[in-house]
C-alpha cells in the first residue's frame, strides 16, 4: 500500500458521493469532447472550403452578367494579359451565347414560364418601329432559348467545381475548333439526341460527342462546345465573356485580384471565390468560436466540480490529515494522496464522459451547424439562374448548400486534447485543496473538543 493506492482507495470511500461527483464530471468532460469535436469538424470544413475554392478568380466583362447586361466581351489581348499576370497558374476562358429558333433546329427543354416570359418581354423580331406605338402588340409569342457555352475546359462548367459528369459518349477537346458539342441530358431527351446525332447550330451541322448531367436543370438544358468553335460560329474571334483564372496559392489571391484590377481597369469586373467563401464560412466560424467557448466553459465547470468536491473531502478529513502528519507523513505525501484521489475521480468521470461525448458529438455538431446555417442557404427554382459569374456560372452556389454537410469526426487528436483538459481539470481542481492540506496543523489532533 502506498500513496497512490491509498488515494484510489479513498476515492471509492463513499460510493454515493463519489458517484455523484463522477457523474457531474462525466457530463462536463463529455461536453468538452463534444465541443472539441464540433470545433475541429467545423474548422476542417472551413479549411476545406477555403482550400478548394480559395484560388479561383473570375473575370467578366464590365456590365455583363450571364446573358444579361451590355458592353463588350473581353478581347484576346485582355485574355492573354490575364494569363500573363503573375501567380495566375491557369485560365479557362469561355464565351456564352444563346440559340434562338432561327439559329438552330433544336427545341429548348426549358418551359418559358412566367419568369422566362418576363425576361424576354423586350425582345422584338419586328422591324416596324416607325410609329413606335404598335411594336409591343406586333411581337410574336416568345420561346425559351438554348444557352451555349464555348469553353477550353468543359469541366469548368461543373456546378460542384469538379469533373463534369458525362452520362454517355465522351467529352470534347475544348482547345479544338471542330463542330462537336456536349449536350445537357434534358435537352438531349427533349430533342431525341444520342451520341453521334447531329443538329444545326448557327447554320452549321454539329455532332453530339457526349451527353452530360449536372443535376442542375438550367445547365442540363444547354450545350457546351469548344471555345474557338463558338467564337467562329458567332463571328466573335477572340472574344470571351468570362475568364476563370486559378491562382497558384490562396495567399496570392488578393494581390492577383488587385493586379488584375489595375491591368484591366474598367473593362472588367473581378470576383474572387476567396472573398465569397470567406463570407459563406463566417457562420461556420461563429459556430467554431461558440464551440471553443463551450470547451472552455465545460473545462472550467469540471475544474470547479473537482475543486468543490476536494475542498469538501479535505474539510471532512482534516483530523485524518493531522494524524498522518503527526505520525510522520510529509506534506508532499498527503497532497499526492489527495491528488491521486482527485485524479481517480476525474479519470473515472473522463472514461464515462468520453463515451458520452462520442455518442452526443455527432448529433450536437449537426444541430449546431444546422441551426446556425439555415438562414444562409438559399433555394433556386429549377431552370432559372440569376446573373452569375458568367456563362453557366461558377460552383459558388454549391458552397452554401454544402455548408450544412459537416460530419463530426472524433479524431485521436481530439481525444488527446480532451485527455489533456481532463488532466488540467484534476490539477486545477486539487491545487486549492492541496494548499488547505498544507495548512493543516498536526497539533490539532491533540485537541479534544
Q: Phi and psi for 339 in degrees, rounded to 5?
A: -65, -40
Q: Which is nearer to another protein, 16 or 327 (CB)?
A: 327
448 contributes a contact to another protein by CB under 8 A: yes
CA distance 192 to 359: 52
Q: Which position among 71, 100, 161, 329 is part of the footprint of another protein (CB under 8 A)?
A: 329
427 contributes a contact to another protein by CB under 8 A: no
CA 171 vs. chain centroid, Å, equals 29
8 contributes a contact to another protein by CB under 8 A: no
16 contributes a contact to another protein by CB under 8 A: no
Q: Which position among 13, 118, 121, 439 is part of the footprint of another protein (CB under 8 A)?
A: 13
Query: Which residues contact residue 78 at a Cβ distance below 8 angstroms, ignoring those fewer than 6 apart?
Result: 240, 264, 267, 268
328 contributes a contact to another protein by CB under 8 A: yes
Q: Exposed (0-12), middle (13-18) or buried (19+): which is 350, by Cβ within 10 Å? A: buried
Query: Which residues contact residue 162 at a Cβ distance below 8 angstroms, ignoring those fewer than 6 apart?
Result: 155
Binding mask of the shown chain, residues 265 to 304, with x at each position contacting another protein by CB under 8 A = ----------------------------------------
Q: Which position among 71, 333, 352, 419 is part of the footprint of another protein (CB under 8 A)?
A: 333
CA distance 1 to 119: 87
Q: Which is nearer to another protein, 121 or 439 (CB)?
A: 439
CA distance 335 to 48: 48
Q: DSSP alpha helices (H): ranges in 221-281?
A: 227-233, 253-264, 273-280
Q: Phi and psi for 394 in degrees, rounded to 5?
A: -95, -170
325 contributes a contact to another protein by CB under 8 A: yes
CA distance 366 to 53: 23
Instruction: Tell me the CA distances in angstroms from 106 to 77, 201, 226, 433, one per residue in order.
Output: 34, 8, 19, 84
Contact by Cβ (8 Å): 149, 96: yes
324 contributes a contact to another protein by CB under 8 A: yes
Q: Minimum distance from CB of 331 to another protein (Å)?
A: 8
Q: Is the dihedral of CA 68, 70, 71, 76 positive or negative?
A: positive
Q: Which is nearer to another protein, 67 or 436 (CB)?
A: 436
Q: Which position among 7, 10, 26, 91 is part of the footprint of another protein (CB under 8 A)?
A: 10
Q: Which position among 70, 133, 266, 447 is part of the footprint of another protein (CB under 8 A)?
A: 447
341 contributes a contact to another protein by CB under 8 A: no
327 contributes a contact to another protein by CB under 8 A: yes
CA distance 8 to 120: 81
Q: Which position among 311, 323, 336, 417 is part of the footprint of another protein (CB under 8 A)?
A: 323
441 contributes a contact to another protein by CB under 8 A: yes
Q: Which is nearer to another protein, 10 or 422 (CB)?
A: 10
336 contributes a contact to another protein by CB under 8 A: no
315 contributes a contact to another protein by CB under 8 A: no
* Binding residues for another protein (CB under 8 A): 1-2, 6, 9-10, 13, 319-320, 323-331, 333, 441-443, 445-448
Amino acid at each position: 500500500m502506498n500513496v497512490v493506492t491509498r488515494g484510489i482507495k479513498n476515492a471509492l470511500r463513499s460510493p454515493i458521493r463519489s458517484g455523484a461527483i463522477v457523474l457531474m464530471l462525466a457530463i462536463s468532460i463529455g461536453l468538452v469532447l463534444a465541443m472539441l469535436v464540433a470545433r475541429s469538424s467545423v474548422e476542417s470544413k472551413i479549411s476545406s472550403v477555403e482550400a478548394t475554392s480559395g484560388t479561383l478568380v473570375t473575370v467578366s466583362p464590365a456590365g455583363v452578367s450571364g446573358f444579361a447586361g451590355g458592353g463588350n466581351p473581353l478581347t484576346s489581348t485582355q485574355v492573354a494579359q490575364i494569363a500573363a499576370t503573375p501567380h495566375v497558374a491557369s485560365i479557362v476562358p469561355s464565351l456564352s451565347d444563346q440559340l434562338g429558333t432561327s439559329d438552330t433546329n433544336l427545341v429548348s427543354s426549358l418551359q418559358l414560364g412566367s419568369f422566362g416570359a418576363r425576361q424576354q418581354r423586350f425582345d422584338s423580331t419586328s422591324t416596324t418601329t416607325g410609329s413606335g406605338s404598335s411594336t409591343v402588340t406586333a411581337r410574336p409569342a416568345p420561346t425559351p432559348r438554348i444557352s451555349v457555352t464555348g469553353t477550353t475546359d468543359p469541366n469548368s462548367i461543373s456546378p460542384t467545381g469538379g469533373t463534369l459528369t458525362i452520362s454517355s459518349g465522351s467529352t470534347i477537346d475544348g482547345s479544338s475548333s471542330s463542330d462537336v458539342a456536349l449536350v445537357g441530358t434534358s435537352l438531349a431527351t427533349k430533342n431525341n439526341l444520342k451520341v453521334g446525332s447531329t443538329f444545326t447550330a448557327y447554320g452549321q451541322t454539329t455532332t453530339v460527342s457526349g451527353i452530360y448531367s449536372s443535376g442542375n436543370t438550367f445547365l442540363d438544358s444547354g450545350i457546351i462546345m469548344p471555345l474557338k468553335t463558338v467564337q467562329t460560329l458567332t463571328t466573335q474571334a477572340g472574344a470571351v465573356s468570362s475568364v476563370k483564372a486559378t491562382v497558384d496559392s490562396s495567399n496570392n489571391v488578393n494581390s492577383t485580384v488587385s493586379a488584375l484590377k489595375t491591368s484591366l481597369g474598367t473593362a472588367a469586373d473581378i470576383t474572387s471565390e476567396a472573398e465569397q467563401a470567406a463570407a459563406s464560412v463566417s457562420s461556420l466560424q461563429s459556430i467554431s468560436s461558440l464551440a471553443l467557448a463551450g470547451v472552455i466553459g465545460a473545462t472550467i465547470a469540471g475544474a470547479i466540480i473537482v475543486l468543490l468536491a476536494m475542498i469538501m473531502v479535505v474539510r471532512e478529513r482534516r483530523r485524518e490529515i493531522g494524524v498522518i502528519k503527526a505520525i510522520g507523513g510529509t506534506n508532499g505525501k498527503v497532497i499526492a494522496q489527495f491528488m491521486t484521489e482527485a485524479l481517480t475521480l476525474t479519470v473515472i468521470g473522463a472514461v464515462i464522459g468520453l463515451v458520452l461525448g462520442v455518442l452526443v458529438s455527432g448529433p450536437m455538431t449537426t444541430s449546431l451547424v444546422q441551426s446556425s446555417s439555415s438562414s444562409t442557404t438559399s433555394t433556386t427554382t429549377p431552370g432559372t439562374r440569376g446573373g452569375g459569374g458568367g456563362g453557366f456560372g461558377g460552383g459558388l452556389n454549391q458552397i452554401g448548400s454544402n455548408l450544412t454537410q459537416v460530419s463530426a469526426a472524433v479524431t485521436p487528436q481530439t481525444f488527446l486534447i480532451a485527455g489533456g483538459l481532463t488532466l488540467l481539470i484534476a490539477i486545477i481542481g486539487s491545487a486549492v485543496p492541496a494548499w488547505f492540506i498544507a495548512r493543516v496543523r498536526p497539533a490539532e489532533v491533540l485537541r479534544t473538543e
